[in-house]
Amino acid sequence: MKELKTETYPFLIIGIGNTGRGDDGLGWQFISWIKKLFEIQVDYEYRYQLQIEDSELVSRYNQVLFVDASHSDLKNGYELKQCNPVNHYFFSSHAQSPETILYLTECLYGVKPKAFSLAISGYCWELKTIISTPAKKNLDAAIQYFTEEYIPKISRQ
């Protein structure tokens, strides 16, 4: 039987979005900034959308953070919440929620990684490759929170 845990790092960040759609690229921007700022032992993946196949990837990690843009005007410009497995599917096998990916990970691979989702408020979704000024402010706030609060917690684990 194969050992499904990664041989690199126990923590995965999945940035979800599309850098060609303005603020929809916030998940990717988050990863790009974290990689520049810190040398933390984390694996990174960029996704346009989550697909059922991502359950196999997630099964290899102890902890996963899903980062995506949000159409909601979130307090502080971002929101971190625990992500739990939920048995719901979208019509297409593409564009699944983090909760569905976790459900499939548990059902198919028998593992339940600790998971969180980080939503960052976005405002402009047009075809362009830069994020809006207010979304950049929210991204900066999310990065500051991540580096000051989240990283120290995972470093102790």
Measuring CA to CA, which residue among 41, 35, 34 is closest to residue 146?
Answer: 34
| Alpha carbon distance 100, 79 (integer Å) | 19
pLDDT, residue 140, reads: 97
| Alpha carbon distance 23, 139 (integer Å) | 10
Q: What percent of the chain has pLDDT over 70?
A: 85
pLDDT, residue 90, reads: 57
pLDDT, residue 86, reads: 87
pTM: 0.89
| Alpha carbon distance 131, 65 (integer Å) | 21
Residue 133's φ and ψ, nearest 5 degrees, are -60, -45
What structural domains and CATH numbers belong to the chain?
A: 11-155 (3.40.50.1450)
Q: How far is CA 10 from the centre of its chain?
A: 15
pLDDT band (50, 70, 90) for residue 17: very high
